A and B are shown apart, each in its own frame.
Chain A
Amino acid sequence: MTDTAWIDGALTSARPQAVSALLRYFRNLDTAEEAFQNACLRALKSWPQNGPPRDPAAWLIMVGRNVAIDDIRRSKKQTPLPEDEAISDLDDAEEELAERLDGSHYRDDILRLLFICCHPDLPATQQIALALRIVSGLTVKQIARAFLVSEAAMEQRITRAKGRVADANVPFETPDAVARSERLAAVAAMIYLIFNEGYSASGDTAEIRKPLCEEAIRLARLLLRLFQSEPEIMGLTALLLLQHARADARFDSDGAVILLDDQDRTLWNPKLIAEGLALIDKAMRHRRSGPYQIQAAISALHARAARPEETDWTQIDLLYGALEVMQPSPVVTLNRAVAVSKVRGAEAALEMIEPLAPRLSNYFHFFGVRGAFLMQLGRNDEAATAFDRAIALANTSAEAAHIRMHLDRLQRDAKPRGAKAGK
């Protein structure tokens, strides 16, 4: 690696800790961010000459705080401009600060920073954008690219989010156990959102949006290091790792979706799978189940099957059943129906999803799955109607193309299919 690469790496990895500590000092996101930026500029000047400090985060916090305090003083015109030397003698200061840094503050600082980003007043897209900007330190340009919007639009979205957060008055006192676990749940949900934003990309945008998945995994790992004994955070991290392990197998070279059954499993990332499996194993030991752990356990069953036929669908059906109890949702039931179709056949699965129709009448996957069940039962005309509806509801071109493939197959199987086939 080149000389600057290690600095970039050190700055990136120190960022969450440094920004969140600076936020504790200044209680203002913009000031904290600016202080961190200034500290980074000084690091770029100082580190190549003096080598990396023992604790980069402590160095950045110290320098960032001093520069910001000087700026504030200067703007108040109360004191003369400080000498540069006043902040360059860092060795002693670093030591003192490093001592105060370790321990509980650090954990609650980062949690607070993440929590502020996922404030309930913010719509999901703003939460994600804010977290990527503030915590991960992605540039507005990078975020805009991942969201497929213009830089100006993203800039505006982030500014608006910051404004709302500033008005929201998140308390800076150390949270009690209840508040802490509430924060943790909110933050976990936000990380899950970031991942989904990247994961739900279509084939042509998957590469561009991949950083969202990778950032979500990085944040999940960060959270897990802070809360090492939280089974749900283990579950969340495992879930993201196991899903992301399939990234390279999910689309063909034309960007079309490849379903789980048809994926080339040798393209799955064995390292991510190994880590995900280790984490879900660890989580299960705690016997405190939760939605993330169950989803990760389902994902793990897929990961453990070297071939689709080896998938333990009975177990998956049971796990979805448990998830339905914990988090009742028609989407969960729809997923369960897929497992049911493998275990008890398409008839039973179809019966299971019929009651969902009123609630999922605008949901692409409902009609895709329904069409597939009907097709398995040989009810091709009804299947075609369901697929037509799915295409109308498709969110991405890849989704539409995938359904069209089913339709083509139906038409091939039964050439004259009434008026529609003639078109």
Chain B
Amino acid sequence: MLYAILCYHDEDHVGTWTKEQDAAVMQKLSVVQDKLTKAGRLGPVARLLPTTAATTLRKDDPPVVLDGPFAETKEQLLGFYVIDCKNLDEALDVARDLGKANPGGAYEIRPVGMFTPGSVPS
């Protein structure tokens, strides 16, 4: 089963990280990622640009394009992982590992229904 781990955090807060702090967090996360890669369980990983760069398409009739993210909440979706796990417990384990590397915020774990690995260069 594929699971998507969606990474939520307060953008204001993450925005206060210095370049060095940011790099340190990324470094810690890459340790967890490497482990998953070796096990052949890591799918696409994406870190999203700030929500100020986001645009939302409301599928009304006619469709409306709005500036900003889909939901105005304190914690924003900042990125996501796709990982291969036997069950939810395994997925939670991975999320816990990631959480140790980068505390704060929240992860939403969602089973993936349809998956294409894609072919865009990273």
B residues within 8 A CB of A285? 65
Contact A225 B16 (CB under 8 A): no
Q: Is A279 an interface residue (CB 8 A)?
A: yes
Binds A, one of B45-53, B78-86, B113-121: B45-53
Q: B-side binding surface: helix, strand, loop or mixed? A: mixed
Partner of B103, one of A1, A55, A218, A229: A1
A residues within 8 A CB of B53? 275, 278-279, 282
Size of the chain B interface, CB-CB below 8 angstroms: 23
Contact B49 A225 (CB under 8 A): no
Binds A, one of B17-25, B31-39, B88-96: B17-25
A272: nearest residue on chain B (CB-CB)?
B49
Contact A282 B67 (CB under 8 A): yes
Contact A1 B24 (CB under 8 A): yes
Smallest beta-carbon distance A285→chain B, Å: 7
* A10-B67 CB under 8 A given contacts A1-B24, A221-B50: no
Q: Which of B1-58 contact A (CB under 8 A)?
A: 10-13, 15-17, 21, 24-25, 49-53, 55
A98: nearest residue on chain B (CB-CB)?
B74
Smallest beta-carbon distance B51→chain A, Å: 8
* A13-B52 CB under 8 A given contacts A1-B103, A6-B103, A285-B65: no
Q: Which of A100-126 contact B (CB under 8 A)?
A: none
A237: nearest residue on chain B (CB-CB)?
B52
Contact A13 B10 (CB under 8 A): yes
Contact A225 B13 (CB under 8 A): no
Query: A264-290 CB contact bits vs B (8 Å, 1 = yes)?
Result: 000000010011001100100100000
* A225-B52 CB under 8 A given contacts A1-B25, A12-B16: yes
Q: A-side binding surface: helix, strand, loop or mixed? A: helix
Q: Is A325 an interface residue (CB 8 A)?
A: no
A221: nearest residue on chain B (CB-CB)?
B52
A residues within 8 A CB of B68? 228-229
Query: A1-12 CB contact bits vs B (8 Å, 1 = yes)?
Result: 100011011101
Query: When chains A and B are docked, how far (Å) is the Cα of A139 from the Cα of B12?
Result: 20
Smallest beta-carbon distance B45→chain A, Å: 15
B residues within 8 A CB of A237? 52
Contact B74 A55 (CB under 8 A): yes
Query: When chains A and B are docked, how far (Å) is the Cα of A274 from the Cα of B67?
Result: 17
Query: B99-115 CB contact bits vs A (8 Å, 1 = yes)?
Result: 00001100000000000
Contact A13 B13 (CB under 8 A): yes
A residues within 8 A CB of B12? 13-14, 222
Query: When chains A and B are docked, how far (Å) is the Cα of A14 from the Cα of B55?
Result: 25
Query: When chains A and B are docked, how far (Å) is the Cα of A311 from the Cα of B24?
Result: 36
B residues within 8 A CB of A14? 12
A54: nearest residue on chain B (CB-CB)?
B74
A278: nearest residue on chain B (CB-CB)?
B53
Partner of A13, one of B16, B66, B103: B16
Contact B67 A228 (CB under 8 A): yes
Q: Which of B11, B50, B53, B74 has the most CB of A within 10 A?
A: B53
Q: Is A208 an interface residue (CB 8 A)?
A: no
Partner of A228, one of B16, B52, B74, B103: B52
Query: A285-329 CB contact bits vs B (8 Å, 1 = yes)?
Result: 100000000000000000000000000000000000000000000
B residues within 8 A CB of A10? 13
Contact B52 A9 (CB under 8 A): no
Query: When chains A and B are docked, how far (Å) is the Cα of A123 from the Cα of B73?
Result: 38
Q: Is A224 an interface residue (CB 8 A)?
A: yes
Contact A9 B74 (CB under 8 A): no
B residues within 8 A CB of A234? 52, 67
* A9-B17 CB under 8 A given contacts A1-B103, A228-B68, A282-B67: yes
Q: Can you sample 25 A-B contacts with CB below 8 Å?
A: A5-B21, A6-B104, A9-B17, A12-B16, A13-B10, A13-B12, A13-B13, A13-B16, A14-B12, A55-B74, A218-B15, A218-B16, A221-B15, A221-B50, A221-B52, A222-B12, A228-B52, A228-B68, A229-B67, A234-B67, A271-B49, A275-B50, A278-B49, A279-B52, A282-B67
Extra A-B contacts (17), CB below 8 Å, given A225-B11, A282-B55: A1-B24, A1-B103, A6-B104, A8-B16, A9-B17, A13-B13, A13-B15, A13-B16, A55-B74, A222-B12, A225-B52, A229-B68, A234-B67, A271-B49, A275-B49, A279-B53, A285-B65
3 nearest A-B residue pairs (beta carbon) = A13-B12, A228-B68, A278-B53
